[in-house]
Amino acid sequence: MPKTLRLTAALCALAMAVLFSAASADAYFGEIVHTISRSPEVNRWWGGVCWKDGYLYEILVRCSFFRQRNPRTGATVAYLDFDVPWDEPYAYGISWDSKRNCWWILDAKEAICQVPAGGGAVISYFTSPHRAGAYYDPKIDRLWVTNQVNNRIYRYTVDGEREATISVEVPGAGGIVRVGDKFWVTITNTDDGDWPMVYELNLDGSKTGRYFVLPHETGYYWNLGGITFDGRYLWVEGGIGNDIYQVDIGYGSDPDPDPTPPPSSLGAEIIDYDGDGLSEPAVYRP
C-alpha cells in the first residue's frame, strides 16, 4: 500500500476511534432503562411529564386534562381536568409545587398557570415570552422557565416576577429540570434529520459536555417535550411517534443538594428580547 494511503487509513482509524470513544462516554450518561407509550392522543406533537409520589403525570397539547400514570406499566390511574380562562387549552408542560399543593401548567397566551392539586379552574397565571418548559424548584421556591426562541432560561417568583435571565449554549431549550447543581434540558426546535438531544447544563447556562440522544426513527425531532426527575432517573417526553423514556444519567439515589445560585450579574437583567412587550410579566388574578 502506498505511504499516502497508509497514512490516510491510519488517520481515519484514529478519527473513528475518537468518535466511538466519545459516543460511548456520552451513552454512559444517557442509558434508556425503560419506556412507556405516550397516551392515546399520539397525534399531539408536544407533551409534558412530571414525577410526583411514585407516579408519572402526563399532559398533551390541546388537551384539557392530564393523566396520572403507573410508571412501570403505563396504565392510566386517574384523569385530572383543568379549565383555562380562554377558549382553548394548549397545555404542553407540567410541574408540581409541593409548597402550595398545586400544579404549574404551561398553556396558551404564553402563560404559566397555577392549577389546584385535584384539577379545576386556573387559580392564577403569569406570562413568559416563548415559554417551552417550566420547573418548580422546591429548594428555592422559584420557577425555572425556558425560552425556546431566544435560548434563555428565566427564574421567576411564583407571583410572576422575573429575577434572572440566563443565556444558554444550546438552541431551542424546551423541557427543564434541575438535578443537584445542574440543569437538564430537552431541545425542541431542531430540523428533520437532526438528533433529538437532551443536554446537561451548568446553572450559568453553559454546557457541561454531557448529553444523550433519544431514539429518532420518526423524523419529528424538534418537538421533544417535558422532562422530570424521580430521585434517580430522568423521564423524557419523546414527542410525536415516540415514547416516554426513563433514562439513567449516572446518579445514585436522591442526589439533590441545595443548588448553587446563578451568577449575581444575571439577577437584575430584565429585557424584552422579542419586542412583544412582555418583559414585565402580566399577572392574572380572578
Q: Nearest CA to 198 among 184, 178, 209?
A: 184
Helix (H, G, I), strand (E, B) or coil at 55: strand
Q: Nearest CA to 148 among 181, 193, 188, 176?
A: 188
Cβ contact 57:70 at 8 Å: no
* Cell numbers describing residue 32: 434508556
Q: What is the reported pLDDT for 3?
A: 41
Could you list the pLDDT tens digit for every one of the 286 residues in the chain? 444 433 333 433 333 333 333 333 443 477 899 999 887 765 556 788 999 999 999 988 777 788 899 999 999 999 998 888 776 666 778 999 999 999 999 876 788 999 999 999 999 999 998 888 999 999 999 999 999 888 999 999 999 999 999 999 888 888 999 999 999 999 876 554 567 789 999 999 999 999 988 876 655 555 778 999 999 999 999 877 788 999 998 876 554 444 444 444 344 344 433 433 334 344 443 4
Please tell me the number of Cα atoms within 13 Å of 99 on its side-chain side. Answer: 11
**Burial profile 9-45: b = 16 or more Cβ within 10 angstroms, e = fewer:** eeeeeeeeeeeeeeeeeeeebbebeebbebbeeeebb
Q: What is the reported pLDDT for 279?
A: 40
**Single-letter amino acid code for the residue at 190:** T
Q: What is the reported pLDDT for 253?
A: 57
Q: Nearest CA to 146 among 128, 163, 160?
A: 128
What does pTM read for this prediction?
A: 0.79
Q: What is the reported pLDDT for 39?
A: 78
**Single-letter amino acid code for the residue at 137:** D
Q: What is the reported pLDDT for 26?
A: 41
Rounded Cα distance between 142 and 151, Å, is: 20
Q: What is the reported pLDDT for 108?
A: 65
Determine how many CB atoms are found less than 10 A away from the CB of residue 241. 17
Q: Where are the beta strands (DSSP E) in 180-260?
A: 182-187, 197-202, 207-213, 227-229, 234-237, 243-248
Helix (H, G, I), strand (E, B) or coil at 87: coil
How wide is the angle at C-alpha 142 spanned by C-alphas 140 and 148, nearest 5°?
130
